[in-house]
């Protein structure tokens, strides 16, 4: 007679976890390769505009960023809610941009200096007045290669 006999003490064979570190290391290397370090901590809130004809920014070491947007909640008391500019980790004024660019450029290797790109990373609700001021400052600093950061979208 066929009876299903319960195994007394067999149980499941133990799962081998010896390859787990290798798997996790693989994941780790994958993430290290495809991601980049955060450039700065944002002090301004930025929702980039959307556009369809985007180009990738090449050679990150040649790119300097200018952030434009409303200050984050925790800075509201100190700086108000008007649109501000952030350079590196600090709030800045339009007339500081020229010095900032000049300093950044002198810090670069000489052969890279003309290749510097300035990326304007602004909130989509920013008024053009401040952007125009930044552009004029960049012209005066001879940083003529600029890039407007945007998110990609299909078409309308």
Chain contacts with other proteins (rule: CB under 8 A): 17-18, 20-21, 24-25, 27-28, 31-32, 34-38, 49-57, 60, 63, 117, 119, 122-129, 131-132, 135-136, 138-140, 142-152, 156
State in angstroms the smallest separation of the CB of 98 from other proteins: 11
Q: Tokens 């290397």 appear where?
A: 29
- Beta-carbon contacts of 130 under 8 Å, excluding residues fewer than 6 positions away, are 68, 83, 85, 94
State in angstroms the smallest separation of the CB of 143 from other proteins: 8
Q: How far, CA to CA in Å, does 115 sit from each of 42, 60, 135?
A: 25, 11, 17
Return the number of the residue (42 or 75) whose C-beta is nearest other proteins: 42
Residue 142, Ramachandran bin (φ over 0: left; ψ between -120 and 50: alpha; else beta): left
Return the number of the residue (49 or 104) whose C-beta is nearest other proteins: 49
Alpha carbon 104 to its chain centroid, in Å, reads: 18
State in angstroms the smallest separation of the CB of 122 from other proteins: 5
Return the number of the residue (10 or 124) whose C-beta is nearest other proteins: 124
Contact 149, 121 (CB under 8 A): yes
Return the number of the residue (96 or 133) whose C-beta is nearest other proteins: 133
């Amino acid at each position: 007679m066929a009876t299903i006999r319960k195994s007394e003490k067999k149980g499941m064979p133990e799962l081998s976890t010896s390859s787990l570190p290798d798997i996790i290391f693989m994941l780790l290397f994958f993430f290290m390769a495809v991601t980049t370090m955060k450039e700065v901590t944002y002090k301004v809130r930025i929702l980039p505009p959307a556009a369809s004809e985007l180009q990738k920014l090449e050679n990150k070491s040649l790119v300097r960023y200018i952030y434009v947007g409303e200050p984050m909640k925790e800075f509201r008391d100190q700086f108000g809610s008007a649109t501000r500019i952030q350079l590196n980790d600090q709030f800045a004024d339009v007339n500081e941009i020229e010095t900032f660019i000049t300093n950044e450029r002198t810090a670069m290797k000489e052969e890279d200096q003309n290749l510097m790109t300035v990326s304007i990373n602004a909130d989509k609700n920013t008024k053009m007045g401040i952007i125009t001021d930044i552009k004029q400052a960049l012209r005066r600093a001879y940083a003529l290669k600029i890039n407007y950061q945007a998110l990609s979208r299909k078409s309308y």
